[in-house]
Amino acid sequence: MQDAPSAPPGASVTAGVLLAEPELVEVTRLVAGAPSLGRVLTHPRVQKNGLCLAGHTRGLVASRVQVLGETELSYLESLDPKLRAERCAQLFALRLSLVLVTRGAAPPTELLDAAQASATPMAVVELRSSRTIALVHQALDRLLAPSETRHGVLIDVHGMGTLLLGPSGIGKSECALFLVERGHRLVADDQVALTRTPSGTVVGKPPPLLRHHLELRGIGIVNVRELFGATAVRDEKNVDLVVELCPWDPEQPFDRLGLDDLHFDLLGVRLPMLRIPVQPGRNMAVILEVAARNQLLKRAGKHSARDFVAHLSERLGLGE
C-alpha cells in the first residue's frame, strides 16, 4: 500500500479557496464559520476520525479537512444531548480548519452550535462520503502541488512537451514560431507555470494573461491562435524533454555522439535534457523536431547513438 502523497514543505491553501473549487462549489453549502474561511489546510488528504467524537482526539490534525459522514452522525445521535454537546465542543475547541458533513445531512444542533461558537468553517456536501473525499483529494492535490514559474518556452513537438530554456535573446520564441509554422503547438512563451502532479509528471501551462501569445523582437506580441488557428495552441502539456539553447562556443564540449544522456531536475522530477548550440544558419526548427523524434525512439528502447557505437565496435572486433 502506497503512502499518501504529502504537500511540499510550507505549502498551504485556505478553506475558502478549497470550497471555491468548481467541483465542490455546486454541491456544497456553508453553514458556519464564514468569517474564518482564511484558516489554512496543509495536507492533501482528509481525516475521517470518528474516535474524536468518542473523546479520543490524539492524532487529529487540525489543518486537515475533517469529514463527518453517516457513521459519525449516527454515533452522535446515539449520545444523550448533554454528552453530545460536550463532545462537539471538545472537537471544535481544537481550532479545526474545515469540517465537511456529507450526504446533505442537516448537522445536529449541538454540532452546529459548537462550530458557530468556535467560528469554525463547516459545510454540508450533498454527496456521499466516498465521493466527497475523492473530490477533495483531487482539488487538494492540485492546489497543494509543488509548482514554480520558469523563463522559457513550452511547445508540443510530435506529442513531446519540449521545454526550451536559455538566456534572454537566444531565440527561444523564434524557435517556437518556426515550429508552429511546421504544424506543432505552442503552450507557453516567456513564462511557463510548472506543476508536479501526484503521478510524478510535470505539467506546464502559460499564465492566464500570456495564454496563446508570443513575443517576437522587432514585431512585438502576437496572438498565435488568431494567426495560425486553434490547432496551433494548447492550454497545457506534460514536460517530456528539456532543451537548453546555448550560444555557440567552439571551446564548449557539446556532445557530438549522444552517448551520454543528460538529465534536468524539475520540481524533483528527473527529465531528459539536451544542450543545443545556436548559431546563424542552423535550422533550429528541424533540429528540435529531430530531438523530439529521437527522444520518442529512446522511449521505445531504440538508442541510435549507442546502437551505432555497438555496431562499429563489432565491425572493428572490439566487442567482447
Catalytic residues: 151, 172, 190, 256
Rounded-to-integer distance, Cα 203 and Cα 224, Å? 21
Please give the single-letter amino acid code of residue 273. Answer: M
Which grid cell sits at 239? Answer: 514536460
Rounded-to-integer distance, Cα 2 and Cα 200, Å? 14
Instruction: Find the Cα–Cα–Cα–Cα dihedral 32, 36, 37, 43, rounded to 10°.
Output: -110
Three-state DSSP string of 149-216:
EEEEEEEEECCEEEEEECCCCCCHHHHHHHHHHCCCEEEEEEEEEEEECCCCCEEEECCHHHCCEEEE
Q: Which is nearest to 161 in space by CA: 199, 190, 188? A: 188
8 Å CB contact between 29 and 123? yes
